[in-house]
Amino acid sequence: MVVRFSSAATRSRRARSVSRFPPQTPPGPPQGGGSNVSLFQPKSGKTLSNVFADLQEEFGETTAAKGTRDLVRDATFFGLAGVSKGFPEVVTTYLQPGIYYLVDLANPPTGGPPTVATLTVGSDRTSFEQDSDLHSQVSVQATSADRFIAPSSWPSRGTYTFTNTSDSIHFMTMMPVKPGTTDAQVQAAFSAPPSAQNGPPPFALMGPSGGNDVVSPGRSLQVSYNLPPGTYVLLCFVADDKTGMPHAVMGMHKVIVLTDSGTATHVASMPASGAPHTGEPGAVNPLNGLVGLGLIGASGALAIRSRRKAVINPA
């Protein structure tokens, strides 16, 4: 089954509220306004309240490490994206039939619980396409060493495949920086004493950002993007599951250059079997759905379309 979301005909369940939300402010919206939309599913025996209690820990100053461990235990995260206003992305990922939830962590409510949209993926049709026909120009891996493996040159418009080969959750933000910025400069800024961290680092640059939100261990997704050419840095700020330190501070960053004629050194697509990458040779998890979501970076707007015979069942 193939399901694509990316047009004006939205067919998802009416939003509902959840009783808990992290008291700490999560990462804010992209520069110029936008959204960090997460798609997730509580694991068997877990509830939305469990997941949001885990997020409360993740954004806490003294509970972040436990929050990461509990999020891995309690939910599966399918990514989606961090988008800036005027720079939409399309995310393609595999889903089994079931109920999923979307939340915008960049725009939390001010004085109430968060709003969660519910997505139901049905399985009442046959002869659905199982494999993505979308090819990626770039391959990115998030590893157990808390590092990104990715080429240094990307096209400014294209598709990348993001694979989490680690045993923890990761996301990837693509932030613009000044030309000539190096990873050594990025690390020096993170390692500087608090007294020297007043204001943005000298290499910071205003502009649209992109990337994908949290992805669980062993999963892959594809993100189609269109950003201005220039220098960007890939960042992950998930808390380390032992120390609580953000992964970026521990070295999970990589400077890349987006060019109009950039040629990446990796080409990849989603696994031909329709299974997420597990990091283990020969491991195959059959899936029933391939979902692409178009995210519009304007007040968290999400538009949905169906592709071929795929169906989204509103509840």
Greater confidence (193 vs 166) lies with 166
**What is the token pair recorded at 114?**
């968060």
Q: Does residue 132 surpass a pLDDT of 80?
A: no
CB 3 within 8 A of CB 289: yes
pLDDT classification of 20: cutoffs 50, 70, 90: very low
Q: Give the mean pLDDT of 176-199.
A: 91
Instruction: Write out 52-86 in H/E/C secondary structure.
Output: HHHHHHHCCCCCHHHHHHHHHHHEEEECCEEEECC
What's the pLDDT band for 285 if we cut at 50, 70, 90?
very low
Dihedral angle sign, alpha carbons of residues 31, 32, 33, 38: negative
pLDDT of residue 158: 95
Q: Give how far Cα 278 sits from Cα of 142, 144, 169, Å.
A: 12, 13, 13
Distance CA 212, CA 142 (A): 12
Label residue 121 by pLDDT band (50, 70, 90). Answer: confident
Q: Which two tokens stand for residue 145?
A: 């060493």
Mean pLDDT of 262-288: 38
Report residue 72's pLDDT band, with 50, 70 and 90 as the boundaries: very high
In this structure, is the dihedral angle defined by the CA atoms of residues 207, 162, 51 and 274, taken in order, positive or negative? positive
Distance CA 26, CA 105 (A): 6
Band (109; pLDDT cuts 50, 70, 90): low
- In angstroms, the Cα distances linking 265 to 187, 235, 262 are 25, 20, 10
Instruction: Give the other-Cβ count within 10 Å of 112's Cβ.
Output: 10
20-48 mean pLDDT: 68
Which residues lie closer than 8 Å to 241 by C-beta, 6 or more apart?
A: 65, 68, 69, 72, 168
Give the pLDDT confidence of 134-151 residue by residue, as tens digits: 899 999 999 999 999 999
Per-residue pLDDT at 197: 76
So what's the pLDDT on residue 125?
58
Segment 20-45 shows an average pLDDT of 65
Q: pLDDT exceeding 90 applies to what percent of the chain?
A: 49
pLDDT at 19: 27
pLDDT score for 93: 87
Mean pLDDT over 153-180 rounds to 96
Assign 2 a pLDDT band (cuts: 50, 70, 90). Answer: very low
Average pLDDT (250-270) is: 74
Helix (H, G, I), strand (E, B) or coil at 8: coil
The percent of residues in the chain predicted with pLDDT above 70, rounded, is 67
Higher pLDDT, 291 or 36: 36
Please state the pTM of the whole predicted model: 0.77
- pLDDT tops 70 at residue 3: no
- Burial status of residue 266 (CB atoms within 10 A of its CB: 0-12, 13-18, 19 or more): middle
One-letter amino acid at 313 equals N
Cα 194 to Cα 278: distance, rounded to the nearest angstrom: 39
